[in-house]
Amino acid sequence: MTAGWGFVTRDDSGIAIKAGAENCAHLMDALHAEMLAILAGVRAAGDLGISKVVVETDSMLAQLALTTSTFSLAPVGGIVYEIKYLMNLFFNSLQVVFCPRDCNRVAHAVAALGCKCPPDTVVSWDGMPPGLEDLVTSDITESSV
């Protein structure tokens, strides 16, 4: 029922420009947490004026929810609708891709920080939270190999 979520917004060279996390009470399931993270990340990217976005998620259900209309009546349907609305409002180009968990380590580290926050408190950082820079660097190095 309680978990943390996290997001990382990166530029086109993989450098983190914004991150956020929250400790959420009253979650229905892991998909609910994933959709809240995506919603926060989409809002952050829109606020930064980013026009081309690739949303990476390690949840095939989240990818399906955002690329089809099959989740409109699901418990997270309202969040899915809001994300899709913001995607259409903010971005010229958008992809939603499945990314295995081992390629999503930075977001999981930020989510772990969210678990340590007071309940229902959103925290954000310009760039990366202190101590996670090495993860970002290793992701950039691995993706360029």
Among 98, 92, 21, which residue's Cα sits nearest to residue 65?
98
pLDDT-wise least confident of 42-46, 108-112, 132-136: 132-136
- CA distances 110 to 24, 34, 75, 78, 132, Å, are 14, 13, 25, 25, 8
Per-domain residue ranges of the chain: 3-143
Q: What tokens does 113 get? A: 């920080």
pLDDT digits (tens, 9 = 90+) for 26-69: 888 989 999 999 999 999 999 999 999 999 999 999 999 999 98
pTM for the model stands at: 0.87
Q: What tokens does 141 get? A: 């190095």
Half-sphere exposure of 63 (CA within 13 A, CB side): 13
pLDDT of residue 1: 61
pLDDT digits (tens, 9 = 90+) for 76-86: 999 999 999 99
Q: Which CATH class is domain 3-143?
A: alpha beta
